[in-house]
Chain A
Amino acid sequence: MTVALAPHRPNVARQSLVLSRRAVLSIVRQPQVVLPSLFFPLFFAALNAAAFDRITAAQPDFAAQYPSFLDFLLPATVLQGVLFGSTQAGTEMANDIEMGFFDRLLASPVSRTSILVGRLAGGAALGAAQAVFFAVVLVLFGAQVTGIGPVLVLVVCSSLLAVGIGGFGVVLGIRTGSAEAVQGAFPLIFVLMFTSSAFFPRELMTGWYGTVATYNPISWILEALRELLTLGWSTTEAVVAVATSAGIAALAIVVALRALRRRLVLAA
């Protein structure tokens, strides 16, 4: 005698949780991803502080706001960490596709949203952890922060950016099904960061470089974060930082969902 199973609606929240857990565990179990994403940004911060502290300190306006170049670098360090860690989402997506796990998911009543949420949750969690970690370490080395509020904004933005970058990585993973292609896109994000005021003070930029940096949304986020961290709480700046980050995350999610749906149509 067989027991009839009552049909049940897919519980998006629960599915998302399960898939998120899988993604987070996967990241935690891969120290070769986590450790470089924690180590290298710190290394760069130390290196660049030692290299550029004196040159920038010679500029009185800059020196007034940033007693140490580390103060300037904290948000950029977090951004670097996020960058290192969030290509993982796309790579894992590509791997899932290659290994058929993805098709199994599609054939099951798992909602498409939870597939995406699950994938990105890992990166978001790592992003938040990184922000806290870097803030603590850099403060230990002499950076100054103006309070907990700004640090919280930093953590939130970090997670949102992880979702954003991870999301675009996932799109690549879905479209190409190849982990190599996703990693090949890494330099592009690198370019995006360098054409912003992430690593260099925009006030001091010369020529067209400054113009490009002004229009780069990454600049808006990082400058807002720097204001919060060095000058104190300002609701305007907090809103700018969070809204822009959220905007990037939202855009990434929309594009990713669309790519997911397209793939379903192809697979059908």
Chain B
Amino acid sequence: MTAATSPRVDLGGRRTGAGSVVAQLLVRNLRGIARMPSAFIPTLVMPVFFVVTFAGAFGFAGRAFGNGNALSWYAPMAVIQGASFSGMTIGLSTARDFETGFFDRFLLAPVSRLTLLGGALGAAVVRTLATTTVVLVAAAIGGVAVPGGVVGVAVLYLSAIGIGIIGALWGLGLVYRAQSTRVGPLIQVGIFLAIFLSTAQVPISAMSGWLPGVARMNPMTNVLRMSRSGFVPDQLDPPAGFGVSWAEMWPGLVALGLGTLVLGAFALRGMRRLSP
């Protein structure tokens, strides 16, 4: 028995590019923030809070911070923190998609897993741009000086984007495996340890005990140095001075590159395990 078929709707050809998919996923993500801002507002506020309190508390010790001042030391750090939180929120919103079952729709779509991941990372980048800008504005209001000029700010944005992506990959890798929001605290702890066991709070020269050794090994130290290169004069020995220098930058770029590769594999593998 052949079933009667009415003429099929012309769907205008099937292969729209991965670009449209990523764009659409991005739009959805940002729309989600607009409709439920409460999930994202802490991410915007906490880094500002951080820079204000730490700069206020340790303003007295200005010269200890790489021969600059506390605000210049902490503003880039807060930016990096905001970037990592942005990445984390992508992980959490994906976890929500799992819990509502909506993620199945993505898995059922005939798009490559890489494209789906790309959509999530695109959203992470946009959120990172937002948090970075907010912190910079707050720091500017607080009177931060940017001797490194536009280049310094650009390098800061670059570092932030890198961390945003890495934070998102970490969160997503865990969420793809756990498929629930239960894994939230683990995401946070990982990010927290990565940030604080480094030169986030003080330069290595000011550290005592076990901390300097750990901080030296932590790739985040390199990323922070890179992010501060336009803000803080004496991060290296011999000092590189004000302004961005290659010596301050390349370890950070290597750290970001390696981090992206390692955690990218972590996330992709997690996603591939979800379904063929």
Contact = CB atoms under 8 A, between A and B. Distances in A.
Contacts of A49: 208-209
B34 to A, nearest CB: 19
Nearest to B56: A209
Majority SS at the chain A contact face: helix
B60 A59 contact: yes
Contacts of B60: 59, 204-206
Nearest to A36: B185
Nearest to A207: B56
B59 A207 contact: yes
B208 A53 contact: yes
Interface in B186-219: 196-197, 201-202, 206-211
A235 B65 CA distance: 40
Contacts, number: 65
A175 B65 CA distance: 46
Contacts of A208: 56
Given A58-B64, A200-B58, A206-B59, A194 B208 contact: no
Contact of B57 (A51, A54, A204): A204
Contacts of A77: none
Main secondary structure of the interface of B (DSSP, over half): helix
Interface residues of B, number: 23
A63 to B, nearest CB: 13
Given A191-B49, A194-B49, A207-B56, A50 B209 contact: yes
A138 to B, nearest CB: 14
Contacts of B207: 50-51, 54
A47 interface: yes
B42 A187 contact: yes
B53 interface: yes
A215 interface: no
A55 B54 CA distance: 13
A195 interface: yes
14 contacts: A49-B208, A49-B209, A51-B202, A52-B58, A55-B202, A55-B206, A187-B46, A200-B58, A204-B58, A204-B60, A206-B59, A206-B60, A207-B59, A208-B56
Given A55-B206, A194-B53, 12 more contacts: A47-B197, A50-B209, A51-B202, A51-B211, A52-B206, A54-B206, A54-B208, A55-B61, A199-B57, A204-B60, A204-B61, A209-B52
